[in-house]
Structure 1
Amino acid sequence: MAARRKAPAARARRRSAALAVGLGVAPAAVVVLLAACLPSTPPQAAEPAGPPLPPVSSRWAVAPPPAVAVAGANPSRAAAVDLVDGAWADEVAAATGIPRRAVIAYAAADLTVAHEQPSCDIAWNTLAGIGWVESRHGSYGGATLTKRGLVAPRILGPRLTGDGVAAIEDTDGGALDGDDQWDRAVGPLQFIPETWHRWGADGDADGVRDPNNIDDAALAAARYLCRSGPLGTERAWRDAVFTYNPLTRYINDVATRANEYAQRVELG
């Protein structure tokens, strides 16, 4: 896809994530941990080589990516979901197969964080990679995204009882996951309730932070990944995604999908 115009302060390249179960990919026996339970520094043991860090093409380093925002977009003055270039979203959805509503959510999160933390260098296609791995962009189990960005019906991960998964007793009285005994990951980006309590965001500026809303979840994921600093190197990117789900396979799956989306947009 040829560049339509330069994107103000936004780059369609790298990074992302938040604390997930990986409904669509991760095996049932995978142990999922809260960020607070992870070591402050990921293990330094040698890690099998994975797919290259997005972006896939060196052309992205010298040419502007396709526009993700309308001209003059300013996330500090309007909800970012209203600033995403509609024509660009149509083109990306057609090229990648990502639902248009999800494309808008990922791009809006990119725009917001690019405004808040320009050095983070996160981008829509990394968020899309995570969204695909976690819930197939809100479609897992037959769910769909509404016009408001809500997943219907809700997507819930397995009860974290310790049986093949982490043991995480209830932290929210069942308010988010409907379970007052054990926690469950919630929504299209699969946030655990305690993590949502700390990182939940209001991506669509409706005054509500809802992990079942893809706008809110995508922005929370972007901020969560950027919390450790810039993600401009492959090591930093992989370390950030590791905190979302500490599995090499997970990191590689996200990188592969993010690369694929970047290629399809570039070549579409």
Structure 2
Amino acid sequence: MWGETQVPNERLRAVMATGGWTYATLAEKVEVDPKSVERWVNLNRTPRRSTAILAAETLGEDVHALWPALRQARPARAVSPELVALYDQRADIPVSTFVEMLTQARERIDVLVYAAVFLHEAYPRLNDLLRERAAQGCAVRVAVGDADSPNVQQRGQEEKFGHGIESRCRLALLHYRPLIGTPGVEVRTHGTTLYNSLYRADDQVMVNAHVWGVNAYGAPVWHLRRHGEGGMFDTYAQSFDAVWATATPVQGV
């Protein structure tokens, strides 16, 4: 629990009265003891964040209006419940780990990279896998870097690979081009400054960090699994959507 004072929570009292809520009926709805609700009102106690959010939704009120203390920063957790694994560098991860994750996808596969040609090189059946998933109703979206984009070219300079990254982007597009026209599969090119490469399969995502001067294979990767709304997984999923909206569809030959 957060701190308490002896000043009643008049905002909460008024909202409950307006909606006809009693201590007992609200307590039943949010699965707490009626005495807890009474303390929220009369002693201005602030419930746990998850309980407060549920109570606010039940009352049709903004949670921070009812409990301003929740605006304070939450203490850092030692380990996020969304974190499945943390790898020192992408090269430590067997390609089979990526393949297994993609194979398990039933609704969505999203890939956001500059090139990531390692997938096709280590697993030549990648396109077949994506076709199979799409045929089973899985929406597949792949965004690779636009070799002519200044941001992509700048990344090449940072990696000290020069024009190598541009060549890898073109090679990645060649790998994915046979998928153009496949129902359920979309391929686009993007010219964004990419802070992370993303490999998503339903509620799992591999996030390959981009580190200045380091090739992606030498940078860390965190494997996340979605745990409720508004977490790290959703942050990266929204990031993908934002880039996707600016990307250019690849046309067939």
Bigger strand fraction: 2
In terms of fraction of residues, the more helix-rich structure is 2
Does the TM-score normalized on the shorter chain lie above 0.5? no
TM-score w.r.t. structure 2 length?
0.27
Greater RCO (Cα-Cα under 8 Å, separation 6 or more): 1
Q: Choose 1 or 2 for highest CA Rg.
A: 2
